[in-house]
Amino acid sequence: MSKVSVLIPVFNERDSVGELLNRVSAVPLEMEVIVVDDHSTDGTAEVLAGLDIDDVVVVTHPENRGKGAAVRTALGVATGDVVVIQDADLEYSPSDLPAMIEPIEQGRTKVVYGFRDLSDQEWIRRLGNQFLTLATNFLYGSRLKDMETCYKMVDIELMRSLDLQADRFDIEVEITAKLLKSRQEIMQVPVSYYPRLERKLIPWIDGPHSLWGLIKYRFFK
């Protein structure tokens, strides 16, 4: 049985992080949970300090560095066999993790993406997500259903070998592009998705940035 390191980048998630950690702890897997508080300013640190949940490692960044940097920090201290990224809001459901690890346990793949049904998502974000997935498939010859999902579960050695550099939301593109370029098979499992209205990702800034990343990794890196 593989041990899963759940990497949780957190920035200003006072209202959801406690409940999220409860949900993660309830998952029946061998796990370690690593929270990286990216210099939150909304009281998230106090919530984390007051939690009474076993086996949660909390690392704090002295300044805000972005989701990608937080994932790298978490990866640096992880000790599991596989890692998965878990956003700190309640949009994804940790109860989907056992289904995601199954193909890895069976030795069928080293990478599993959880793909979302985006039909409840705000139309502009849904279009953006669908466009970026389409662009990925066009540029890399892949058949992904949801490139921007946070639920990327990857063998830890493989994830470390990607030598990740992206600091912000471009981490999703970097992971995907590097996996596809190294011809890793990505298996896909459906996961539930409950979109929230408040987001930190800004479509007209992060969208073009992600598209540029797809082109950059495909042709220049």
For binding to Mg ion (CB under 5 A), which residues are involved?
87, 89, 91
User: Residue 200: which of ligand GDP, Mg ion, none does it interact with, CB under 5 to 8 A by kind?
Assistant: ligand GDP
b/e code 111-121 from CB counts within 10 Å (16+ = b): bbbbbbebeeb
Rounded CA separation 87/139 (Å): 27
Closest to ligand GDP by CB, 81 vs 87, is 87
Rounded CA separation 103/87 (Å): 22
Closest to Mg ion by CB, 183 vs 196, is 196
Rounded CA separation 37/118 (Å): 28
- The 10 Å Cβ neighbour count of residue 7 is 26
Encoded tokens for 122: 């705000």
Closest to ligand GDP by CB, 103 vs 154, is 154
Q: Does 130 bind ligand GDP (CB under 6 A)?
A: no
# residues contacting ligand GDP (CB under 6 A): 17
Q: How far is the CB of 108 from ligand GDP (least distance, A)?
A: 28
Q: How far is the CB of 11 from Mg ion (least distance, A)?
A: 11
Rounded CA separation 55/33 (Å): 7
Q: Does 146 bind ligand GDP (CB under 6 A)?
A: no
Give strand pairing partners of 154: 83, 111
b/e code 44-80 from CB counts within 10 Å (16+ = b): bbebbeeeeeeebebeebeeebbbbbbbbbbbeebeb
Q: How far is the CB of 14 from Mg ion (least distance, A)?
A: 15
By CB under 6 A, name the one of 51, 58, 187, 201 that touches ligand GDP: 201
Q: Does 184 bind ligand GDP (CB under 6 A)?
A: no
Judged by CB under 6 A, the chain residues 63 through 102 that form the site for ligand GDP are 64, 66-67, 70, 87-89, 91
Closest to Mg ion by CB, 32 vs 87, is 87
